[in-house]
Structure 1
Amino acid sequence: MSIQADVVADGLDHPWGLDFLPGGDAVVTERTGQLRILSKGKLSEPLRGVPEVRAQGQGGLLDVKASPDFATSGLIFLSFSEPGDGGAGTAVARAKLVRDGGAARLEDVRTVFSMEKKTGKGQHFGSRLVFHPDGTLFITTGDRGDGRRAQDMQDSAGAVLRIKPDGGIPADNPYADGAVGLPQLWSKGHRNVQGAAFDPTTNGLITVEHGAKGGDEVNRPEAGKNYGWPAISYGVNYSGTKIGKGTEAPGMQQPLFYWDPSIAPSGLAVYEGDMFPEWRGDLLVGSLKFELVSRLDRDASGKITGEERMLEGAFGRIRDVNVAPDGSIWLLTDEANGKIVRLSRAD
């Protein structure tokens, strides 16, 4: 099989997230705070109305996701590093995308989630957005550079969160009453989840997260479960010292797969398209460190059975991976002159 790669757009300032809109257009974020529309191969000017972001370190304007009912509501959701007392924290806003013949813009912008504890650290904001078919919204966060926060049940850092699109709490969340943990918590013990997708094979969420030196993980976050960081890890500290208790501990979940050495995983997509039928059900993971796409083979049950590394060094740091409605695969490159690259079948 031969793959054709075409640069759809360039000149983006560290693009971070992309989503497709009904009709073939796409929205794309730039970490420095801009949101643009890609239409007929051309990028719009930055849209007015984007929330203020703290664009420093790994923070800024992060993921974008169109509401499942976008065709009627026009709603999109944005995750970003929100400035506030003490520094910044991960937040999510929703807004109406207005395209009425004038310049496209956001209106009725409203924050539906805001990390309460903000700090001056510039790393580990997460953050991906994933809609479940039941209409609820998953939000991934990082530990904000402080592993202790990932084990604090009263802290939304180092977690997967689940909310209603209006910011409300689903009644079946594991801590919905707030007695044991924050009501929006879904799972804890995550270091920095920068890839997430809904997985039709297992009918649930699947994520990829950064380890330290080694120990990048693929996980299937389930309600009320703890994924170990920083008590357990398959990596070591950057100094080479052991992390926590080792690789296992009672009450803590094992990853589905891990990388050692670290690939610095970013965006994640579950391939369900028609263009590459031999890949259907496989995971596609971007790598920042090795500048490649990792394709993880899976069997019918969702078990990962092998890895193929593709396009190493071809385009630079891969920040996001998306599957278009036609089955092509779209990549974002994390560069000052960031690109949108479309992969299609050439044979």
Structure 2
Amino acid sequence: MTLSKHSFFILFFLSLFACAQDKNPINTNNTHEVIVPDLNIPWGFTFLPDGAMLITEKAGEIIHFKDGRKTEITGVPQVYNRGQGGLLDIALHPDYAQNGWIYLTYASSEGDDNGGHTALMRCKLKNNALVEKEVLYKATPNTTKGQHFGSRIVFDDNGYFFFTIGERGNRDENPQDITRDGGKVYRLNADGTIPNDNPFVDAANAKTAIYSYGHRNPQGMDIHPETREIWAHEHGPKGGDEINIIKPGKNYGWPVISYGVNYSGTSFTDITKKEGMEQPLHYWVPSIAPSGMAFISSDVYNGWKGNLLVGSLKFQYLDNCYIENGKVVKEERLLDGLGRVRSIEQGPDGYMYVGIENLGIVKLIQTK
């Protein structure tokens, strides 16, 4: 049988579309309860000791939510709301009940150049206002590009905190150069000073806050509940989103090695492995566009304890990753089609809470 030119192109584009579809099966044994309604882009959120939530909206608003009531927090730093940039993650100091410190990442135009870059601030909350604000880190130089600001924050068990900054769309200069910001995971002391054992403190001209490099755009990070390792994921280009275990001084390869290609489908590298560069623990082809990341460490969900939840912006679901011996052995779709999953946290009650764009924050409920 001979295909007409018209039929050939229909089949060609159908095949392209099919190749772009996510292949993870749908788990229907779950539902949700909307806890905080009517949010646009809930980029990050955290729970206060009294059970209230602090929620960042990308456009530049922090919302205090308790007992069904939203209150807008004043004193929020001015954000550079462009493209993927804006008000990003929020986290509490592990000793928040004693010291009251809150940490924020956001796109900031502070500095001499036009545009913006990712900044990190600590502050306190008093009478629904941010006070005692201190900028602990501001990446440079600013750029008007709208891509790849990062950014997630986690604290480890030793009082250090880690945050991520994407390579700001400068693929060929930033991620592999430790004298430049962008495409890195950073580590600081809680007061913003540089730990004296950071891997590049003695390297000439290095950004000494850098902990690891060779990243593209990390928008998920969490501490493994048992091993206490730092797990992070990052956006690849077309294909090649990655999960990595973050180790001091290691090079994660972007853009020298990758399992992805340009968005046009052309290749920018012909290698996926190279000596001296870390292999991902897991990667996605096609890309799911991951954002948000949290381990399930509670006993609330039957059969899911120890699993890793990752949000998919592209396919609009919560990826339930089953982990065995440090590897992802199975994936399934939860909250399928509910919306672009942006942020994930385990609540004080052990349930998983999920920030979904143009919906709000929902509680994940297992039905069987």
- The TM-score, its normalising length taken from structure 1, stands at 0.94
What residue is the counterpart of 2:341 in the other structure? 318
Task: Work out which of the residue numbers 223, 232, 247 in structure 2 matches 1:222.
Answer: 247
1:12 counterpart SS class: coil
Q: Are the counterparts in 1 of residues 238 and 263 from structure 2 also a CA contact under 8 Å? A: yes
Identity of aligned residues (%): 43
Is 1:153 the counterpart of 2:181? The answer is no
For structure 2, the 5+ residue unaligned runs are: 1-27
Q: Are the counterparts in 2 of residues 232 and 243 from structure 1 also a CA contact under 8 Å? A: no
Q: 1:250 to 1:52 in 2, by over 3 A?
A: same
What residue is the counterpart of 2:363 in the other structure? 342
Displacement, 1:282? Answer: 1.2
Task: Work out which of the residue numbers 43, 49, 54 in structure 1 matches 2:70.
Answer: 43
What residue is the counterpart of 2:123 in the other structure? 95
Return the alpha-carbon distance in structure 1 between the equivalents of residues 41 and 55 of structure 2.
10
Is 1:130 the counterpart of 2:171? The answer is no
Is 1:329 the counterpart of 2:352? The answer is yes
What residue is the counterpart of 1:243 in the other structure? 268
Task: Work out which of the residue numbers 167, 171, 175 in structure 1 matches 2:192.
Answer: 167
Displacement, 1:123? Answer: 0.9
2:175 counterpart SS class: helix
Return the alpha-carbon distance in structure 1 between the equivalents of residues 214 and 227 of structure 2.
21
What residue is the counterpart of 2:30 in the other structure? 3
2:208 counterpart SS class: coil
Letter of the 2:130 partner, please give it: L
Displacement, 1:178? Answer: 4.1
Structure 1 or 2, whichever has the larger Rg, is 2
Return the alpha-carbon distance in structure 2 between the equivalents of residues 238 and 2 of structure 1.
35
Letter of the 1:321 partner, please give it: I
CA deviations on 1:314-334 (whole Å, 9 max, x unpaired) are x21000111111111111112
Deviates more, 1:105-114 or 1:197-206: 197-206
Q: Are the counterparts in 2 of residues 95 and 107 from structure 1 also a CA contact under 8 Å? A: yes
Is 1:253 the counterpart of 2:278? The answer is yes
CA deviations on 1:113-157 (whole Å, 9 max, x unpaired) are 110211110110000000111111101110101112111111120
CA deviations on 1:238-270 (whole Å, 9 max, x unpaired) are 111112242111211110001100100000001
Is 1:307 the counterpart of 2:328? The answer is no
Return the alpha-carbon distance in structure 2 between the equivalents of residues 311 and 26 of structure 1.
21
Is 1:291 the counterpart of 2:316? The answer is yes
Is 1:199 the counterpart of 2:224? The answer is yes
Return the alpha-carbon distance in structure 2 between the equivalents of residues 41 and 260 of structure 1.
40
How many aligned residue pairs are there?
A: 338
What is the aligned-residue RMSD (CA, Å)?
Answer: 1.4
Q: Are the counterparts in 1 of residues 80 and 86 from structure 2 also a CA contact under 8 Å? A: yes
Return the alpha-carbon distance in structure 2 between the equivalents of residues 220 and 86 of structure 1.
34
What residue is the counterpart of 2:237 in the other structure? 212
Q: Are the counterparts in 2 of residues 292 and 310 from structure 1 also a CA contact under 8 Å? A: yes
